[in-house]
């Protein structure tokens, strides 16, 4: 089945409410979209939402790349060659994961729809549902607890707390959450590179009595060796995020003494499902658990991440709440939320429908 058209464009979308992390505050997001149409009328949808401060690519650059002659030449290619097209695209757009994610996702969606199977089924689905965490930005103790109550009322029982500006306030926020919610709820922490080693040691010591599930990227990228001064037990809960951009980084962190016990895979860091699967395979052999994360993203790329997450046997955690933050989206469907868990619908491709 031949590709007959490709279309790429940019959409700016407001967030339902601004949020703050260790290095920025966000109130809206620009998303890149790619449509790949087949001769039978089927359209595959992809989306790119790279974080410039992490990977050095803007969504404006993503859209410009998607409108090049190289992508236009997908027309007349056979969708059955989608993996070869992804390979060639990686050669054309190295170190541009937003561009690659949009291409990779759109091709997977078109192929799955043409085949009449879900992408998760194509790769071999290993699980059906996991609870997603809901992200709470950096704010005061009372505000943190109030936002957590909102999520709890919606049926979510896993909170991911952004930290990294004031370690003492971070400690008080964690204590406040456990006092308010107790052991029935799970708390994760994302420091977004906001700590130095003494801050991290202070945070770990002060919260040792609370069962924090994991801590994402506590130190700045490039300081991973400092984490080896921590105990193996402490490192098992540490999660590589901004430092884990590609399979090469996954391989380096897996060798020898491991600074991280968990890998956070984001399609917008590794360039789509193909790169994600490579990282997942490395992690599996190194006995490292997988934690699937996101930026502020469309249902398109969130669903794509879910399909690959559920196709990997070492997936243990998901934090795929990025589409919940958007005031609008390009598509609907893809997955359902059931008692705080994300459940894919197993319709062809990624199972979403353009609005």
Predicted pLDDT at 18: 75
Which domain does 54 fall in, by range?
A: 3-115
Q: Is 108 exposed, middle or buried (0-12, 13-18, 19+ CB in 10 A)?
A: buried
Contact 188, 160 (CB under 8 A): yes
Beta strand ranges found along 172-243 (DSSP E): 186-190, 215-216, 238-240
Predicted pLDDT at 22: 65
Mean pLDDT in order along the chain per 10 residues (355 residues) = 98 84 77 98 98 95 98 98 98 98 98 98 97 96 97 97 96 96 93 97 96 97 97 97 97 97 98 98 98 97 98 98 94 97 97 95
Identify the sign of the CA torsion 301, 303, 307, 309. positive
Provide the total of helices (H) and of strands (E) in the chain, helices listed first.
14, 16
Specify the number of domains making up the chain. Answer: 2
Which one of 115, 150, 168 terminates a domain? 115
Predicted pLDDT at 25: 74
Predicted pLDDT at 182: 86
Same domain, 244 and 228: yes
Same domain, 44 and 131: no
Residue with token string 């107790």: 182
Which one of 115, 137, 164 terminates a domain? 115
Predicted pLDDT at 19: 67
Same domain, 104 and 165: no
Contact 340, 317 (CB under 8 A): no
Going by their DSSP bridges, the two strands 43-48 and 24-38 should be labelled as antiparallel
Same domain, 220 and 326: yes
Same domain, 109 and 158: no
Predicted pLDDT at 283: 98
In angstroms, rounded to a whole number, what is the distance separating the alpha carbons of residues 146 and 132?
19
Predicted pLDDT at 27: 78
Domain holding 64: CATH number?
3.30.390.10
Same domain, 148 and 34: no
Domain holding 348: CATH number?
3.20.20.120
Whole-model pTM: value is 0.95
In angstroms, rounded to a whole number, what is the distance separating the alpha carbons of residues 219 and 15?
28
Give SS3 for 134.
strand
Same domain, 322 and 184: yes
Which one of 82, 115, 148 terminates a domain? 115
């Amino acid at each position: 089945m031949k590709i007959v058209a490709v279309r790429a464009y940019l959409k700016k979308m407001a967030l339902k409410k601004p949020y703050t992390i260790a290095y920025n505050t966000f109130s809206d997001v620009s998303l890149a979209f790619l449509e790949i149409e087949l001769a039978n009328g089927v359209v595959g949808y992809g989306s790119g939402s790279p974080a410039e401060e992490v990977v050095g690519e803007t969504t404006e650059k993503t859209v410009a790349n998607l409108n090049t002659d190289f992508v236009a030449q997908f027309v007349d290619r056979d969708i059955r060659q989608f993996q070869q097209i992804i390979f060639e695209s990686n050669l054309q757009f190295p170190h541009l994961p937003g561009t690659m994610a949009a291409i990779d996702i759109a091709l997977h969606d078109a192929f799955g729809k043409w085949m009449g199977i879900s992408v998760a089924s194509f790769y071999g689905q290993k699980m059906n549902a996991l609870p997603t965490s809901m992200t709470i930005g950096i704010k005061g103790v009372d505000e943190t607890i109030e936002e957590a109550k909102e999520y709890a009322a919606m049926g979510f029982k896993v909170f991911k707390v952004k930290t990294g500006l004031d370690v003492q306030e971070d400690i008080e926020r964690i204590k406040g959450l456990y006092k308010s919610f107790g052991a029935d709820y799970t708390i994760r922490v994302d420091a977004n590179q906001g700590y130095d080693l003494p801050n991290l040691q202070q945070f770990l010591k002060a919260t040792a009595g609370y069962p924090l599930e994991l801590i994402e990227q506590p130190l700045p990228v490039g300081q991973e060796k400092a984490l080896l001064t921590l105990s193996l037990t402490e490192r098992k809960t540490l999660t590589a995020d901004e430092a884990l951009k590609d399979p090469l980084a996954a391989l380096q962190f897996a060798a020898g003494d491991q600074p991280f016990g968990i890998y956070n895979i984001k399609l917008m860091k590794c360039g789509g499902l193909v790169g994600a699967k490579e990282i997942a395979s490395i992690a599996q052999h190194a006995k490292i658990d997988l934690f699937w994360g996101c930026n502020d993203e469309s249902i398109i790329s969130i669903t794509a991440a879910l399909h690959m997450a559920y196709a990997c046997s070492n997936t243990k955690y998901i934090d795929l709440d990025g589409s919940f933050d958007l005031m609008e989206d390009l598509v609907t469907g893809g997955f359902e939320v059931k008692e705080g868990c994300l459940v894919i619908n197993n319709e062809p491709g990624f199972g979403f429908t353009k609005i």
